Amino acid sequence: MSDHMAIYLIVALNTICQIMLIRRQKLASTVKWKFCCLAAALPVVIMLSMRLVIASGTIHEYVAEQSLVEHYLTRGASILLIAGPWLVTLAAILIRMRNRLMLQNH
């Protein structure tokens, strides 16, 4: 298995786990649907945008050939690939907690 495919597999499994956690939240179904779509779309958009940037020649494909700015861009995208679905899950949890607090106060 190539490194690219292994990375895609890890990102996909992480996203699936986060979607399962979002689905377990006690939220309205439309809100769950939006959070699940966002958790799935975020890594896909990041992967596609990085592939397009590399294919267009804007940044080098290999990290060893990248400049400092290209390296930071690649590192940031890599972090968002894993952290993006986690942040969406955290947002869903915070929305659920906010809704519960609002119901208790009224």
pLDDT of residue 66: 85
Based on the number of CB atoms within 10 Å of its own CB, is 44 exposed (0-12), middle (13-18) or buried (19 or more)?
middle
**Domain limits at 13?**
3-105
Tokens (6 digits) for 52:
């397009």
Q: Can you spell out the DSSP letters for 17-77?
A: HHHHHHHTS---HHHHHHHHHHHHHHHHHHHHHHHHHHHTTSS-SSGGG--HHHHHHHHHH
pLDDT per position in the chain (106 positions), as tens?
A: 788 789 899 999 999 999 999 999 999 999 999 999 999 999 999 999 999 999 998 888 887 788 899 999 999 999 999 999 999 999 999 999 999 998 888 7
Euclidean distance between CA atoms 27 and 72, whole angstroms: 37
> Whole-prediction pTM value?
0.86
Number of domains making up the chain: 1
Residue 88's nearest CA partner among 44, 51, 52 is 44
pLDDT at position 93 is 96
